[in-house]
Amino acid sequence: MVINNRILEQNNFPIRLLLEKELQHTKPIIVDMEDAVFWVKPDARFLYANDAACNLVRYSREELLSMTMHDIKPDFSPAVWSKHWRTIKEQGYLYFESLYRTKEEQTLPVEITIIYLEYNSSEYGCILIRNISQRQQASMVLQKVNEVLNCKVQQLVAELRNANQQLYREKVLRQQIETALEQEKLLTEHRAHFFSMLSHEFRTPLNIISLSASLLKRHVHRWTEEKKLQYLQRLEIAVEQISQLMDEIFLNGRAEAGKLKFEPKPLNPIQLCSEILAEMNLNPINATCLMPGNPFDIFSWEESRQLLLHRESPSPKGEVSSKGSLCSHNSGQYNSFPIPASRETSEYRVTLISQGDCTVCVDPKLLQPILRNLLSNAVKYSPNGSTIDLLVSCWDEKVIFQIKDRGIGISVADQQRLFKPFHRGMNVGNIPGNGLGLALVKKLVDLHGGQISVASEVGVGTTFTIALPAQ
């Protein structure tokens, strides 16, 4: 076999020299291409492979030049290749998706384009190969989401078709069918919007992952450790974005299906807020707290407070608990945290203010996404360098959370549909989002038997108030 390979290499040598001479004009482009590039003869033997091709199949260039397409693509037998080659000659190219085998026997999903060329009365094939593993993973995610939505549509239609069996069955059934068709149309529109949103939301982090990984692979031996770390952090952020989006979609799906259970347990809400802020990479500054009895009017939140609390003064038990408290008893002061906008740009500042008894009985698994979502929105829709307030208080057997920002605000018209799935404000512009967050927050608040309200003015800011039973 070695002797035969050497004979074939000797026979190909003049052709390879001629090809390499002509490749000098395009070599800078081909060498730096991210896609794998092979040149082959009509008998499927390799004449050239760029660095990306070698990296893709894990063979050295010398090894590849002694191999054929069949060695890295087992289903390309001589008979199959001969058939493909005839097709390539007839139409000038051939495109398809397939699997390639690496030196370590790993199979990779790839996108293959073969272009037919003639030069000096000789025939060649230029093969462009692209690794589509990430694309297939994203496609699988979209397929699973589609299956969930299809099941939901079928379930709703079935329930509507079998709802009424009483005397006025025909009339009621007709109305239900009309309603079902309207809901099905609305669900179809929502699904189309959801897929469009999901594709956009996934495309950005996936592009970051692809580009950063490609640059790291290409420059791993030349870049400083600091620059490598910078690109690794970008990869980490992109993965976090995808993970958070999938968590939100999964939680929404469970809430829609009624599979979320309310499991309350005693906890300190101040400590929970502190842990959430820490998970968002916050560093505490001036760790002191607002004493009980100080009014809320420094935040102009009296209207929302009266709406939810229906009282004018703290309950007798409204004292700051020293057990588990994050604050010292210094009157009139509060916790202040800087919150990074993008880990690379200017900072926001979040103030954590506590008032009242800090022992409540809520479900932390449901409360955490409520607070994370509202804090994330406050950051997203506020200008760089602005302040965000997080107030936690216990009043009349209720625990109150208020998140106030100085951002773009929400119009009165948008407030009417604020908690509808996929709805986004008319003034959000190019700020990214999927329209699922506040709909999920409302569902989780309802599971607590609580209330949520919003007070907002366009161009001034927004305050969300959450009131949950403390027992």
DSSP string, 288-302: B-PPTT--SGGGT-H
Distances (CA, A) of 345 to 188, 189, 197, 319, 339: 39, 37, 26, 39, 11
**Which is it for the CA torsion 176, 179, 185, 187, positive or negative?**
negative
Residue with tokens 């993973």: 137
Q: Are residues 213 and 159 in the same domain?
A: yes
Count other Cβ atoms within 10 Å, centred on residue 412: 9
pLDDT, mean of residues 124-137: 84
Q: Which residues contact 96 (CB under 8 A, 6 or more apart)?
A: 112
Indicate the burial class of 340 (C-beta count within 10 angstroms; 0-12, 13-18, 19 or more). Answer: middle
pLDDT, mean of residues 403-418: 89
- Name residue 452's amino acid: I
What's residue 167's pLDDT? 66
Q: Are residues 298 and 444 in the same domain?
A: yes
What's residue 300's pLDDT? 40
Q: Are residues 392 and 359 in the same domain?
A: yes
Q: Are residues 342 and 400 in the same domain?
A: yes
**DSSP-based three-state secondary structure for 12:** helix
Q: Find the domain containing 32 and state its range.
A: 2-131
Distance between CA atoms of residues 191 and 256, nearest Å:
14
Distance between CA atoms of residues 183 and 287, nearest Å:
51
Distance between CA atoms of residues 367 and 388, nearest Å:
19
Q: Are residues 112 and 202 in the same domain?
A: no
Mark which of 256, 287, 316 sits at the end of a domain: 256
What's residue 301's pLDDT? 41
pLDDT, mean of residues 108-132: 88
The token pair that represents 317 in the structure block: 């038990």
The token pair that represents 318 in the structure block: 């409204």
What's residue 460's pLDDT? 92
When pLDDT is cut at 50, 70 and 90, the band that residue 370 belongs to is very high
pLDDT, mean of residues 410-418: 87
Distances (CA, A) of 123 to 22, 85, 119: 14, 10, 7
pLDDT digits (tens, 9 = 90+) for 279-312: 876 543 333 344 444 334 334 444 433 433 333 3
Q: Is the pLDDT of residue 151 over 50?
A: yes
What's residue 120's pLDDT? 83
pLDDT, mean of residues 223-243: 84
What's residue 289's pLDDT? 46
Distances (CA, A) of 281 to 137, 266, 277, 377, 443: 29, 25, 7, 16, 27
Q: Across the chain, what does the average pLDDT equal?
A: 75
DSSP state of 328: B
Q: Are residues 303 and 331 in the same domain?
A: yes
Q: Is the pLDDT of residue 320 over 70?
A: no
Q: What percent of the chain has pLDDT over 90?
A: 14
Q: Are residues 50 and 67 in the same domain?
A: yes
Choose among 17, 15, 14, 61: nearest CA to 36: 61
Question: Whole-angstrom distance between the N-terminal and C-terminal Cα of the chain?
Answer: 80
When pLDDT is cut at 50, 70 and 90, the band that residue 464 belongs to is very high
Q: Which residues contact 125 (CB under 8 A, 6 or more apart)?
A: 39, 40, 41, 42, 85, 88, 114, 115, 116, 117
249, 145 Cβ separation under 8 angstroms: yes
- Backbone angles phi and psi of 394, in degrees to 5: -120, 115
Distance between CA atoms of residues 319 and 252, nearest Å:
36
Q: Are residues 249 and 284 in the same domain?
A: no
Q: Are residues 179 and 239 in the same domain?
A: yes
Q: What percent of the chain has pLDDT over 70?
A: 73
Q: Which residues contact 348 (CB under 8 A, 6 or more apart)?
A: 338, 339, 340, 341, 379, 382, 384, 385, 386, 387, 388
What's residue 318's pLDDT? 34
pLDDT, mean of residues 10-26: 49
Residue with tokens 């986004």: 424
Choose among 418, 410, 398, 396: nearest CA to 460: 410
- Backbone angles phi and psi of 348, in degrees to 5: -105, 165
Task: State the pairing for strand pair 36-40/46-49.
Answer: antiparallel
- Name residue 225's amino acid: E
Residue-wise DSSP of 23-67: HTTTHHHHHH-SSEEEEE-TTSBEEEE-HHHHHHHT--HHHHTT-
**DSSP-based three-state secondary structure for 455:** strand
Query: In terms of DSSP H, where are the helices of 123-168?
Result: 133-161
Residue-wise DSSP of 391-419: EEEEETTEEEEEEEE-SS---HHHHTTTT
Give the total number of structural domains in the chain. Answer: 3
Q: Which residues contact 74 (CB under 8 A, 6 or more apart)?
A: 101
150, 158 Cβ separation under 8 angstroms: no
Task: State the pairing for strand pair 461-469/451-457.
Answer: antiparallel
Q: Are residues 230 and 273 in the same domain?
A: no
What's residue 376's pLDDT? 86
Q: Is the pLDDT of residue 141 over 60?
A: yes
Q: Are residues 441 and 306 in the same domain?
A: yes
When pLDDT is cut at 50, 70 and 90, the band that residue 196 belongs to is low
CATH number of the domain bearing residue 72: 3.30.450.20
What's residue 266's pLDDT? 92
Q: Are residues 170 and 55 in the same domain?
A: no
CATH number of the domain bearing residue 400: 3.30.565.10
Which range, of 141-155, 285-299, 362-376, averages the lowest pLDDT?
A: 285-299
Mark which of 68, 98, 131 sits at the end of a domain: 131
| pTM, 2 dp | 0.48
Mark which of 206, 239, 256 sits at the end of a domain: 256
When pLDDT is cut at 50, 70 and 90, the band that residue 248 belongs to is confident
